[in-house]
Structure 1
Amino acid sequence: DYRRECGQRYLEEIRSYLRDTPTAVHLVDEDFAIDNTILDSELEELKKKIVEVASQQPHWGEQIPTRWFLLEQQLMKLRDGGRKVVRLCEVETLNKEGTVRIKDSEELDVFLRYLHETGTIIYFSIEVLRDNILLDPKWMIDALKILINARPNLPGNLADNDTESNCSAASAARNCIRQRWTDFKEKGILTVELVDAIWTKKNYPDLHEHKKHILMIMEQLNILAKPRSFNENGEKVEKYFLTPCMLRQESPREYVSLEQDIRLVSTPVLCCVFRGRYLPPPIFHRLIAACITRWPVSKKKETSEHLIFCGCCMFDLDLFHRLTLYCRNDIVFARITRLVIDEDKTLEARLCTRVRKFITLNLSKITSCLGQNLQYDLRIQCPPSREDSEDSIVGLSPPFDMWFADEGHDPDAPITREHMNHARLCVVLVTVCGNAMRDVLSTHVSPPHTDIHQAILANKVKLTSRQGRPLLNADQIKVVFPDPHGKTTGKVDQFDLSLLYILIRNISTVPAPVRGWGYDPQDQPRDHSLGASVERIRSYRNHIIGHSMNGEISQQDFDDYWSKIDAVLDEIELKLGKQGYRAQLEKQKTQVISIYEAC
Structure 2
Amino acid sequence: MPAKGVKSDTQTPTSDTEDFTFPTTSKQDDNATNTQPRPSTFLRSVRKFLKPRKYKRSEEKTIGSSSTGVHPVSSDSQPNTPRIMMVQVDAEKEKRYRHDVCEKYFKEIRSYLKDKPTMFHLVDEDFAIDNTVVDTNLVALKKKIVAVASKQPYWGEEVPARWILLERELMRLKDAGIKVIPRILLEAFNQAEDVPIPTEELDLFLKFHNDIGTILYFSIEELKDKIVLVPQWMIDAVKSLITADEMFFLRNAPVVARKWETFNKSGQLYPELIDAIWTKEKYPDLHDNKEHILLLMEHLNIIAKPRCFSEDGSEIKVDNYFLAPCMLKEKTPENIMFPKSDPEMKSSSSVLCYNFVEKFLPSPIFHRLLATCVSRWPIAQTKSENQIFCGCCIFSLDLHHRLTVLFREYVIFVHVFRFGTTELTPSSKLCITVQEFITMTLTSIIGYLGRALKFEMYVRCPRSVGYGVDCLIPVADLQGNVDVPCHFHDIHVIRSQDVLKFWFQEEEPSDAGPSDVATSSAPTSDTDRFMCIAYLLVDVGSRVLRQLLSHHTVSSTCTLDQYLAKNISTINRLTRVFNPSQMDIMFPTNGDDTNLDDYDITLLSALFQNIVPTLSQQEKNMIKRLREERNKLYAHAKSCLISACDFQTYWNDISSTLITLSQQCGDTAFEAQILQEIQRTKVSAIPAGSYLDILKTWFDMIQNVTNRLQALEAKTKSLTSDS
CA deviation vs aligned residue, 1:441-471 (integer Å, no higher than 9, x gap): xxxxxxxxxxxxxxxxxxxxxxxxxxxxxxx
Q: Residue 150 of structure 1: which of 244, 251, 270 is its match?
A: 244
- AA aligned to 2:486 is C
Distance change in 2, residues 1:209/1:365 (3 Å): farther
Matched, 1:273 2:361: no
- Note if 1:181 corresponds to 2:248: no
CA separation in 2, counterparts of 1:46 and 1:252? 46
Structure of greater Rg:
2
Give the one of 331, 353, 364 matched to 2:411: 331
Deviation by residue 1:161-200 (Cα, 9 ceiling, x = unmatched): xxxxxxxxxx8xx53x444333321122223443233223
Cα 1:208–1:329 shift into 2, 3 Å: same
Q: 1:49 aligns with which of 144, 162, 187?
A: 144
Counterpart in 2 of 1:18?
117
* d(CA) in 2 for partners of 1:3, 1:265: 58
Q: Which of 213, 225, 228 is the equivalent residue of 1:134?
A: 228
TM-aligned CA deviation for residue 58 of structure 1: 5.2
Q: Residue 333 and residue 154 in structure 1: after superposition, are their counterparts in 2 closer, same or farther (change >3 A)?
A: same
TM-score (norm 2): 0.43
1:503-533 alpha-carbon deviations (Å, 9 max, x no partner): xxxxxxxxxxxxxxxxxxxxxxxxxxxxxxx
Task: Return the alpha-carbon distance in structure 2 between the equivalents of residues 221 and 9 of structure 1.
Answer: 37
1:209 deviation in Å? 1.5
Question: How far is 1:94 from its partner?
Answer: 1.5
Judged with a 3 Å threshold, the aligned counterparts in structure 2 of structure 1 residues 182 and 390 are, in CA distance, closer, same or farther, namely same
- Which residue number corresponds to residue 104 of structure 1? 198
Q: Distance in 1 between matches of 2:391 and 2:110?
A: 22
Q: Which residue of 1 aligns with 2:216?
A: 122
| Partner SS for 1:76 | helix
Query: Are residues 47 and 249 of structure 1, via their aligned partners in 2, closer, same or farther at CA, if it must alter by over 3 Å?
Result: farther
TM-score normalised by L of structure 1: 0.50
In the TM superposition, what whole-angstrom CA distance separates every residue of 1:364-393 from its partner, at most 9, and x where no partner exists? 453476484988646233541695354433
Distance in 2, matches of 1:225 and 1:11, equals: 38
**Separation of aligned partners in 2, 1:320 and 1:111:** 50
- Deviation (angstroms), 1:326: 0.6
Mapping 1:155-554, distance limit 5 Å: 175=255, 177-227=256-306, 239=319, 240-248=321-329, 251=332, 255-257=336-338, 267=348, 269-273=350-354, 276=357, 281=363, 284-289=366-371, 290-291=373-374, 294-298=377-381, 307-314=387-394, 323-335=403-415, 349=424, 353=428, 356-357=431-432, 359-364=434-439, 366-367=441-442, 370=445, 372=447, 377=457, 379-384=459-464, 388-393=468-473, 395=475, 421-422=483-484, 425-427=485-487, 430-431=489-490
SS of the equivalent of 2:244 reads: coil
Residues 45 and 275 of structure 1, relative CA distance in 2, 3 Å threshold: same
Distance 1:31 1:209 in 2: 47
Q: Distance in 2 between matches of 1:384 and 1:284?
A: 23
Offset, 1:104: 0.8
Q: Contact 2:349 / 2:425 at 8 angstroms: preserved in 1?
A: no
1:187-221 CA deviation, whole Å, 9 max, x = no partner?
22223443233223343222122112212323344
- 1:129/1:5 Cα in 2 relative to 1: closer, same or farther (>3 Å)? farther
Instruction: Indicate conservation of the 8 Å contact 1:87/1:131, yes or no.
Output: yes
Q: Which amino acid aligns with 1:288?
A: L
The match for 1:83 among 175, 178, 195 is 178
Secondary structure of the residue aligned to 2:282 is coil
- 1:72 aligned onto 2:151: no
Q: Is the 8 A contact 1:32 1:42 kept in 2?
A: no
Secondary structure of 1:83 counterpart: coil
Identity of aligned residues (%): 35
**1:88: how far off?**
1.7
Q: Summarize deviations over 1:31-83 as a string: whole Å, max 9, x none.
A: 65666955666554443333223333455445666653433332222223231
Sort the Cα spacing of 1:107 and 1:184 in 2 relative to 1 into closer, same or farther, 3 A.
Answer: same
Residues 326, 332 of structure 1: 8 Å contact kept: yes
Structure 1 pair 380–65 and aligned structure 2 pair: CA distance change class (3 A) = closer
Instruction: Please state how far the C-alpha of 1:286 moved relative to its aligned partner.
Output: 4.3
SS in 2 for 1:203: coil
> Contact (CA 8 Å) 2:304, 2:324: kept in 1 or not?
yes
Which residue is 2:639 aligned to?
A: none
Q: Aligned-pair distance for 1:293?
A: 5.8
User: How far 1:327 moved relative to its partner?
Assistant: 1.6
Q: 1:271 to 1:3 in 2, by over 3 A?
A: farther
1:587-598 aligned within 5 A: none
Over 3 Å counting, the alpha-carbon distance change for 1:129 and 1:311 in structure 2 is same
Question: For 1:128-154, what per-residue CA distance to the aligned partner results, in whole angstroms no more than 9, with x for missing partners?
Answer: 323211122221122112211335687
What residue number does 1:565 align with?
A: none
What's the CA shift string for 1:236-284, capped at 9, x where partnerless? 98544332321245546664236769xx997465123357567665553
SS at match of 2:353: strand
Deviation at 1:114, TM superposition (A): 3.9
CA separation of 1:12 and 1:324: change in aligned 2, threshold 3 A? farther
Aligned to 2:549: none
CA distance in 2, matches of 1:63, 1:296: 47
Task: Mark the CA change 1:325 to 1:33 in structure 2 (over 3 Å): closer, same or farther.
Answer: farther
- Secondary structure class of the residue paired with 1:384: coil
Report the alpha carbon displacement of residue 318 of structure 1 after superposing the two structures with TM: 9.1
Name the structure 1 match of 2:587: none
Report SS of the residue matched to 2:370.
helix
Preserved CA contact (<8 Å) 2:416 2:426: no
Query: One-letter code of the match for 1:79?
Result: K
